Amino acid sequence: MRELGRLELSRNRAPLSLMQAQGWLNCFAVVLHCGIALSFSACEASVTRRVLATVLSVEGTAEVRQKGHSEFDRITPATLLQVGSLVRIGTSGTLNLAFLPNTVASLSEKSELQIDDLAVTKDGNAMRNDVRSRMVRLLLLGGTMQVSFNRLPDCRSDLTIKTPQGALSANSDCIFLINVGEEKTRVTCVYGMLASHIERADFLIEAGYFQEFPSSDLSPKAAAEDAQAQRDVISMIETEHQLQELARHQRLLKPDFLDR
């Protein structure tokens, strides 16, 4: 009778053990699902950080007032320019900069520029090709700046340049010259295309065209029909070659330059 009672008792306990096993499996499945979800979430995570502009070369007098400082310091090839910096170029001076590897520029004498933002967004988990986007935002208060901007593959790139009279933006390859005077801004596009934003109106400036603003006629005009625009085109072609040579030299000196 005792053996029979033990057998009946073991039979009654079997279903409880099966239910417990099923419960453990369900808990394991939930934990596994959560782990996979977190893994995918981590893979999609991105990190945005501010970077420093690099001096490619400097001739004559060029000064910078870094953010949080009250005095201007002389710019040398070793100077790094942070977000918020105000740059000014003296008479007969020239400053060549790489804001990012895909955005290089040359500032001419008596120019004044503020760096509003330099940002790079990266995939926090990728081992290679981890840059998702690059952003450059500048304020040209006066003078002349010649710019070469490239949209790198598999990466969003945005360039915005504000002036007292309007703003310019680009998200594809372009080469252009911008001059900010006391009353007008003049933009000449040598290659590619960029957009201007003036008085709540948008315009496209294609290669071989220039635009002045403010003006009673804001439509871009052919550079071939304007002597100053022709000089701007010739100057920009020469400067573009110099900027690319300086950038290549920088990459040789600092291989991690392209990681930005």
Whether the model pTM is above 0.85:
no
Question: Which residue, chain included where needed, has tokens 């394991």?
Answer: 28
Find the mean pLDDT for residues 74-85. Answer: 96
Mind listing the pLDDT tens digit for each residue in 137-178?
999 999 999 999 998 877 889 999 999 999 999 988 999 999
Picking from 173, 180, 194, 184, the residue whose alpha carbon sits closest to that of residue 240 is: 173
- Which residue type is seen at 252? L
Mind listing the pLDDT tens digit for each residue in 202-233?
999 999 999 999 999 999 999 999 999 999 99
Query: Which pLDDT value is given to residue 55?
Result: 96
What is the SS3 string spanning 49-81?
Answer: EECCEEEEEEECCEEEECCCCCCCEECCCCCEE
Confidence of residue 234 (pLDDT cuts 50, 70, 90): very high
CA 162 – CA 183 distance, rounded (Å): 14
Q: Indicate the burial class of 87 (C-beta count within 10 angstroms; 0-12, 13-18, 19 or more).
A: buried
Mind listing the pLDDT tens digit for each residue in 3-50?
545 544 445 444 545 555 465 556 545 444 544 444 444 445 789 999
Query: Which pLDDT value is given to residue 45?
Result: 72
